[in-house]
Amino acid sequence: APTTSNNDSHNNHLANDESALITRARHRQHVEAAVRALQRFEQLSKQGTYGLDMAAEELRLAASELGRITGAIDVEDVLDVLFKDFCIGK
């Protein structure tokens, strides 16, 4: 009998759960990116201390993606605006 992976199970749950409906394409892209980062975190965290730094980075990326939906301001975003719009250092 065919089996489904964890990814398929998570995707099916989201597709069948009306409360998880995301109507804005931008929000959907950020949620999907966060899910991918969390999946990479899950794989890296199984590598023990070898993958710990990379696993932590995946958590940071997932949080950053969700922060883009909730309006959380990231330090990197502020620096990007400062250097782009105010020409600091020129």
What is the pTM for the complete model shown?
Answer: 0.60
From CA 44, how far away is CA 54, in angstroms rounded? 7
From CA 1, how far away is CA 56, in angstroms rounded? 36
Q: 50-82 burial string, b = 16+ CB within 10 Å, else e?
A: ebeeebeebeebbebbbebbeeeeeeeeeeeee
Q: How far apart are the first and last CA of the chain?
A: 64
- pLDDT tens per residue across span 28-39: 999 999 999 999
Per-residue pLDDT, averaged over 80-89, amounts to 64
From CA 7, how far away is CA 39, in angstroms rounded? 8
- pLDDT tens per residue across span 22-75: 888 899 999 999 999 999 999 998 888 878 889 989 999 999 999 989 888 776
